[in-house]
Amino acid sequence: MERELFMIFGDPVSHSKSPLMHNFAFRELGFNGCYSRYHLRDGSKLKEKILSLKIKGCNITVPHKEAAFLACDYLDTFAKSVGVVNTIVQKDGKLYGYNTDAPGFLKATEDFKAKSVLFLGAGGTAKSTAKILRQNGFSVTIANRSKERLKSFIEDGFECFVYDEFKPREFDLIVNMTSAGLSDESLPAPKKLLKELLKDAKGAIDVIYRETPFLKLAKEFNLPTKDGADMLIFQGAIAFEYFTNHQFSFDEVEPLMREALKF
């Protein structure tokens, strides 16, 4: 039987550990699938690539999550409400879009006793996670370098600031939602501002799955921190359920993906 092909699309994408997690789970669960990476620079070509490569399912990472939303023929209720897709399943030439980032992030916050959250950055991941956190009783504020990216958040009723006009106050949880620190030593916001925010916070999370300069700075304030590994694993396990038409449960898949990241 021919293997079903799965993929992650992004720019950049070489750092992604999704192939490691999914391929390990495929093997351990006896599913005839293969998961790879595709460096896609132009998000408008996403649908064309999925169909021409005969991809059964895919994940989408930065900066194409909003383009993925536009590429889909059908959307689940949550993905439709946030305008952002990071998981697609192809059925008979039609693309079905889901958002697994947001529930993955929500689950990753369970270790923090947080009620007020500040997001640094206003990209696609922030858009979906802000909504699911608000639906679950969190107070969410978004800060970003430029005002343009904040427009949709303002329209959705979120409190928003640009860094230049932001007067720091106390938040339980500070979250880096940008790619700052992914491949360099940059910070997601001015260092002076970050220090003011972190000194009063109860914890810090980075969606990047390594110890970034942001997390190192948070540790200087003795804060509990978490990188993006949990979010990555949780969203991946939820996506795996969609990819395999729910043949396997989250509880079966999650520990396998966690084990895969140890290698």
Q: Which residues are part of the catalytic machinery?
A: 65
What's the rounded Cα separation, in Å, for the pair 72 and 90?
9
Describe the strand order of the beta sheet including 173-176 as a list of residue ranges. 159-162, 139-144, 116-120, 173-176, 203-206, 225-226
Prior bond of 63 cis (ω within 30°): yes
Give the containing element (helix H, strand E) for 240: helix 229-243
- Go through 202-233 and write b for each residue having 16 or more CB atoms within 10 A of its CB, e for each that does not: bbbbbbbbeebbbbebbeeeebebbbbbbbbb
Tokens coding 237: 């396990």
CB count, 10 Å around CB of 49?
A: 16
What's the rounded Cα separation, in Å, for the pair 247 and 20?
20
- What are the distances in angstroms from CA 171 to CA 79, 140, 144? 27, 9, 16
In the block, tokens 């790619």 appear at: 179
